[in-house]
Amino acid sequence: MYAQLVKTDADRVKSIDEMDPQERTFQQRIDDNQKIEPKDWMPEGYRKTLVRQIGQHAHSEIVGQLPEGNWITRAPTLERKAILLAKVQDEAGHGLYLYCAAETLGISRDKMMDQLHAGKSKYSSIFNYPTLTWADIGAVGWLVDGAAIMNQVQLQRCSYGPYSRAMVRICKEESFHQRQGYDIMMKLCQGTPEQKEMAQDALNRWWWPSLMMFGPPDADSVHSAQSMAWKIKQATNDDLRQRFVDQTVPQAEYLGLKVPDPDVKWNEEKGGYDYGEVDWDEFYEVLKGNGPCNAERMHDRVKAWEDGAWVREGLVAHADKMAARAAATPVAAE
């Protein structure tokens, strides 16, 4: 997902008897569905896992501005331009809530930014794919935001209070994102043959990368088991992927588009669609930095940060001057 491979530092999940009393109390609160708040004691592994996950999630929102921002200046109507601007503005806002949530765990936003720029902290693989036509903006809203919602709905119940609450706010906005994307696809599919072809081409290119957003199968992963035991996540990657396929295939049919997977077939027995094998080699290549746009995305973010250094320094210097002036001014008498 936005956080696709989150390590937990665990080599196996401890049973309740193996825990010390503090840990046991903590685990019991989780099991009772109580929220953990910043001032509460928490195992170091829990804290670190959340920092990694929320950090990856926040970075994804920020880097995610780039592929969509790519089409703001070229949006085909004033209305579409306004909607896309509103959407991308929301994504930046999501980044902000998430960095704030991560900061409650004792890491600063600047530090997280440094980790992103140094390549030490990841963002979702999906944003390393290019937006080549206007239809890609439709496909991103429909599929990428659709996949994000699938994941974030369950994260609203995450055991860590600040993350859970950030997710509640974010989910409200995400459904608008998905609708505007689907609406773009709808317009294209009702349009000229060229427009419909553009829509099909976008689906062809975004389908598999969207399925990869959920991360590799993790039913046997110790990290996943630990995250589930801590209720940081509530469903396995494959479960979420299945739900996404089940939701999206009929939507594609409604548009009159074909999902680019010959193995997609309704399976009566499981009450869901079967689908083909995701190319996990491609996924790992993208994570390693070899996706079509990794270099550009990082270049853009690093350049923005470096070019903006004088602005941030100027703001800090001004605030310092104001504080110094305030301190030097005797309090005025009544």
Minimum CB separation of residue 92 from other proteins in Å reads 4
Binding mask 214-253 for other proteins (x = CB under 8 A): ----------------------------------------
Binding residue for other proteins, selected from 80, 122, 177, 223, defined by CB under 8 A: 80
C-alpha 62/C-alpha 11 separation (Å) is 32
Distance from CA of residue 10 to its chain's centroid?
Answer: 23
- The reply on whether position 94 binds Fe ion by CB under 5 A is yes
- Reading the block at residue 107, the tokens are 């890491």
Angle at which helices 237-255 and 193-212 pack, to 10 degrees? 170
Question: Which residue do the tokens 């399925």 mark?
Answer: 211
Minimum CB separation of residue 31 from other proteins in Å reads 36
- The reply on whether position 300 binds other proteins by CB under 8 A is yes
- Reading the block at residue 230, the tokens are 């801590």
Amino acid at 299: H
Q: Are 213 and 125 contacting, i.e. CB atoms less than 8 angstroms apart?
A: yes
Binding residue for other proteins, selected from 38, 45, 69, 276, defined by CB under 8 A: 69
- 139 phi and psi angles, rounded to 5 deg: -65, -40
Distance from CA of residue 110 to its chain's centroid?
Answer: 19
C-alpha 153/C-alpha 144 separation (Å) is 14
Closer residue to other proteins, CB minimum distance, 118 or 315: 315
Binding mask 140-159 for Fe ion (x = CB under 5 A): -----x--x-----------
Residues that bind other proteins (CB under 8 A): 62-63, 65-66, 69, 72-82, 85-86, 88-89, 92-93, 95-96, 99, 109, 134, 184, 187-188, 190-192, 194-195, 300, 303-305, 307-319, 321
Residues that bind Fe ion (CB under 5 A): 61, 91, 94, 145, 148, 174, 177
